[in-house]
């Protein structure tokens, strides 16, 4: 599997896939312990296509995607700040969790931070 796994910085062309992965991975990860109304509220206010489009357009935010055979399976959103980067989100579809892929995204955040900033925080 790993030889077909790639990292890519996402842009507006990835918006639809980004929204699907956002909703599905959030749902898969939190449905067991979340109140259904809270879940619905979050999905409708934080992970809509419109909100994600605004976030993609922000010059201080980067979306680093992870793909399997060019299909988006997860991503990490990082926000540039003066002397640090914030990891705001790290979402990965359930079938791809516990395979070291989240670590690959974190390694990329570390590389990005070393190149551009000093500190990473969540």
- Condensed to tens digits (0 to 9), the pLDDT of residues 30-61 reads 888 888 888 888 889 999 999 999 999 999 99
Q: 62 — phi, psi (to 5°)?
A: -130, 140
CATH number at residue 20: 3.40.630.30
Element (H, E) at 49: helix 49-57
| pTM for the structure as a whole | 0.89
Tokens of residue 69, six digits: 């055979």
Hunting for tokens 């993609």 — which residue is that?
A: 56
Contact 37, 61 (CB under 8 A): no
H-assigned helices in the chain: 15-30, 36-46, 49-57, 101-116
Q: Half-sphere exposure of residue 49, counting CA atoms within 13 Å on the CB side? A: 7
Query: What confidence score (pLDDT) does residue 3 get?
Result: 73
Q: How many domains is the chain partitioned into structurally?
A: 1
Query: What confidence score (pLDDT) does residue 1 get?
Result: 54
Give the whole-angstrom CA distance, residue 105 versus residue 111.
10
Domain range for 73 is 2-121
Q: How confident is the model at residue 120 (pLDDT cuts 50, 70, 90)?
A: confident
């Amino acid at each position: 599997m790993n030889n077909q796994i790639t990292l890519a910085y996402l842009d507006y062309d990835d918006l639809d896939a980004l929204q699907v992965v956002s909703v599905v991975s959030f749902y898969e990860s939190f449905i067991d312990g979340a109140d259904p109304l809270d879940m619905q509220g979050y999905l409708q206010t934080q992970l809509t296509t419109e909100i994600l489009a605004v976030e993609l357009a922000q010059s201080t935010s980067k979306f680093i995607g992870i793909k399997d055979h060019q299909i988006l399976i997860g991503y990490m959103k990082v926000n540039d700040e003066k002397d640090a980067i914030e990891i705001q989100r790290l979402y990965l579809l359930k079938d791809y969790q516990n395979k070291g892929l989240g670590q690959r995204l974190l390694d990329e955040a570390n590389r990005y931070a070393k190149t551009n900033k000093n500190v990473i925080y969540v």
